[in-house]
Amino acid sequence: MRGPIQGMPTVGSGSYREDDVQFLLRSVDIEVTGVEEKERLIQTRQKHYSEMISQEQAPTPEHQQLYERALAYNGQRMAEDVQALAQALDRECHGPQIVLVSFVRAGLPLGVLLGRALRDLGRQVFHYGISIIRDRGIDQLALKTIIEAHGAQSIVFVDGWTGKGAISAEVQRSLAQDPRFSGPSRLVVLADPCGRAWLAASAEDWVIPSGILGATVSGLVSRSIWPSEAGLHGCVVYDHLQAHDVTRPFVDRIDGLRRQLPAVTTAQPWSADQAGQLQAAAGQAIDGLAARFAVSNFNRIKPGIAEATRAVMRRVPDHVLVRDKRDSDVQLLLHLTERAGVPVEQVGAALGPYRAATIIRSLS
């Protein structure tokens, strides 16, 4: 499933199989910034988040156990959702090939799984991992390279989930002036509680197993880094985490479950009414959080289980809210907040379509 793009200095396929994905990212050396200092620089607008990175540590034994539990509980659901999305893409994409363009990192596991499922359906698939950065858009050199190899008409963008819809907005903004992309931006995700994706398996906020870990389930690469000079966006390759890498076992586990499934009902793009209802409910919940915590910069609000969890791991959290503390899907989040000494409040229906949210501490 790798494409014919050769001769570019990239990180290859990370720790994925070479036929599963080709990264259009270059390896960079970058000084590590502490979490609190990084947060201060972001909030005082001295640096963009994509210009810094903090050290990524190996998951603790407790963290790894919670990942294993999420995989045991929700692996079957993920396999079913991958099958539904693949069948929908097979129906919606009419050209001779499908070009999956996954956003690093959250889109990578889904993109690899979709590629395998589509190939089982007899489709010719190419799969690339590229960078998209909030406020700065898609890596245009990477996208240009893909279009030169395959054209634009068969491209489908892949991410893991939506939170507030920031990445969906970046896709639309990046492509708005490009006549080769007409109609709605084709962004595919597993979970879309805010109704901003073109195609999603569901609108439910649930704990996606690959959303619990970082590099160790995403090819051992960091999130993408803004280039200091012209060229592809960058990333750090985390060789020090090799002993903890579950990238291939995770994909093989979900793919094996999918292969045992009978035909399932395919997913459908949201209707205008469905998208509108989801967007309104999500917006109301986010506005409520902003009002309660006096947040003027909405980037400090991280709604959804995956975003809330990652914010506790990577940022400086101030408050964490959950719909129900007994919910099995928020147990990793509760474990991380206990270790970090962050208060957790159970707020029920106030979160709207979300089951969790994190408010980033103001350091500016």
Dist CA 281 CA 286 (whole Å): 9
pLDDT over 90, % of the chain: 82
pLDDT at 2: 47
Q: What are 131's two structure tokens? A: 């960078």
Say whether pLDDT at 355 is over 80.
Answer: yes
pLDDT at 5: 63
Say whether pLDDT at 259 is over 80.
Answer: yes
Residue labelled with tokens 């879309």: 192
Q: Is 137 left (phi over 0), alpha (psi -120 to 50) or beta?
A: left
27 CB-contact burial (10 Å; exposed 0-12 / middle 13-18 / buried 19+): middle
Rounded alpha-carbon distances, angstroms, from residue 186 to 172, 278, 295: 9, 18, 31
Residue labelled with tokens 């270790």: 339
pLDDT at 266: 80
Say whether pLDDT at 4 is over 70.
Answer: no
* Residue 334, helix vs strand vs coil: helix
Dist CA 175 CA 239 (whole Å): 34
Name the strand (E) or helix (H) holding 72: helix 61-92
Please write the tens of the pLDDT for every residue from 199-212: 999 999 999 999 98
Please write the tens of the pLDDT for every residue from 297-325: 999 999 999 999 989 988 899 999 999 99
Mean pLDDT (the chain, rounded): 93
Please write the tens of the pLDDT for every residue from 53-88: 999 999 999 889 989 999 999 999 999 999 999 999
Please write the tens of the pLDDT for every residue from 241-255: 999 999 999 999 999
pLDDT at 1: 45
* Domains of the chain from N-terminus onward: 22-259 (3.40.50), 272-360 (3.30.1330.30)
The helix-helix angle for 331-340 and 61-92 (nearest 10°) equals 140
pLDDT at 364: 66
Q: What are 315's two structure tokens? A: 């940022």
Collect all residues with Cβ–Cβ distance below 8 Å to 3 and sequence separation of at least 6.
22, 99, 126, 127, 128, 146, 149, 150
Angle at CA 226, nearest 5°, toward 246 and 7? 75
pLDDT over 70, % of the chain: 98
pLDDT at 178: 87
